[in-house]
Amino acid sequence: MLEITDLTRRFGDVTAVDGVSFDVRDGILTGFVGGNGAGKTTTMRMVMGVLGIDAGEVRWGGRPVTAADQRRFGYMPEERGLYPKQRVVDQLVYLGQLKGMDAAGARRAAEEHLERFGLAERSRDRLQELSLGNQQRVQVVAALLHRPKALVLDEPFSGLDPTAVDSMADLLREHASTGVPVLFSSHQLDLVERLCDRLVILSRGRVVASGDADELRSRGPVRYRLALDRDAGWVREVRGIHVVDVDGPTALVEVVDDGAEQVVLREAAARGGVREFSPVRPALSDIYREVAA
């Protein structure tokens, strides 16, 4: 497990990362979400040891992380950093060797992963001849090649088409299922919600929420959908609720005072013609907007 405690980094007057704490647990995917400039990249760089830490610490396996540990992690940096003119497979073999693999083992692993991503036929191409999405896949292969002990990926899904997103997600899940902690950043909340076991939401350098999707949703407002066979405008008169929307015979209401939904239900039943009265789980995007506001 990677434990990130009170991590802080300043650039001049800007505190890019401000006392950030969260765990990246073994065997699951943790999504790191936040808007532009929230501090995701800076946090990941500190975890990987490519940027100094002003305060706080990163622990691995219960003790402070070392440079030797970080070499055994897989990292996909924001600045992708592969060589455009070098052939795909040669560059993967080279990177594998830098990570301590022998040439034959690195070649085998590279070919296996390229095959997996449908890139086997491109392995002799120069990187710059590939589409941006395929270059991205090669970049992820580079991070995975040496069977890393932990994976830290900065925006691995950006620019990928839906099929590539699915194959990338399968690959990450497969690695996670071998007990590896996986942390990846993304702007795409819907994607993170679909793929992740846990989410960490960052805003202006601070963690504003973390947990699994259900836990986060349960912090959101409780809403009910009401559908009648006649106009639902009367809900506006009910106390203890906030009316989010009324559209003819349907209404969406938010419970402000505990139990106020029962008042709505009783009133609806008394008026007759209730077709539906059901709780609505808030979308994670609503929670995100609320906590990141």
Ligand X SMILES: Nc1ncnc2c1ncn2[C@@H]1O[C@H](COP(=O)(O)OP(=O)(O)OP(=O)(O)O)[C@@H](O)[C@H]1O
Least spacing, CB of residue 119 vs ligand X, in Å: 26
31 binds ligand X (CB under 6 A): no
Residue choice 14, 50, 55, 269 for contact with ligand X (CB under 6 A): 14
Please identify, among the stretches 34-42, 89-97, 121-129, 226-234, the one whose residues bind ligand X according to the rule CB under 6 A: 34-42
Burial of residue 7 (CB within 10 Å: 0-12, 13-18, 19+) is: buried
Alpha-helical segments (H) within the chain? 40-48, 67-71, 88-98, 103-116, 132-144, 162-177, 189-195, 213-218, 260-271, 284-292
Nearer to ligand X, 41 or 134 (CB): 41
Tell me if 175 sits within 8 A of 182, measured CB to CB: yes
Written as six digits, the tokens of 148 are 């890393």
In the complex, the smallest distance separating the C-beta of residue 84 from ligand X, rounded to whole angstroms, is 22
Interface with ligand X by CB under 6 A: which range of 33-41, 79-87, 216-224, 267-275? 33-41
64 binds ligand X (CB under 6 A): no
The site that binds ligand X (CB under 6 A) totals a number of residues, namely 11
281: three-class secondary structure by DSSP: coil
13 belongs to the binding site for ligand X (CB under 6 A): no
**Cα distance between the two ends of the chain:** 30
153 binds ligand X (CB under 6 A): no
| Least spacing, CB of residue 146 vs ligand X, in Å | 25
> How far apart are alpha carbons 201 and 33 in whole angstroms?
5
Examine residue 8 and tell whether it contacts ligand X (CB under 6 A).
no
Does residue 42 touch ligand X according to CB under 6 A?
yes
Residue with tokens 């009648």: 228
* Rg of the chain on CA atoms, in Å: 24
260 contacts 240 by C-beta, under 8 angstroms = yes
Cα–Cα dist 20/164, whole Å: 31
Is residue 70 a contact point for ligand X (CB under 6 A)? no
Q: Pick the stretch among 40-48, 96-104, 105-113, 269-277 that binds ligand X (CB under 6 A).
A: 40-48
Interface with ligand X, residue 159, by CB under 6 A: no
Interface with ligand X (CB under 6 A), residue from 38, 47, 160, 235: 38
16 sits near ligand X (criterion: CB under 6 A): yes
34 binds ligand X (CB under 6 A): yes
Edge to edge, what strands does the sheet with 274-280 contain? Answer: 241-247, 250-255, 223-228, 274-280
Residue ranges in contact with ligand X by CB under 6 A:
11, 14, 16, 34, 36-42
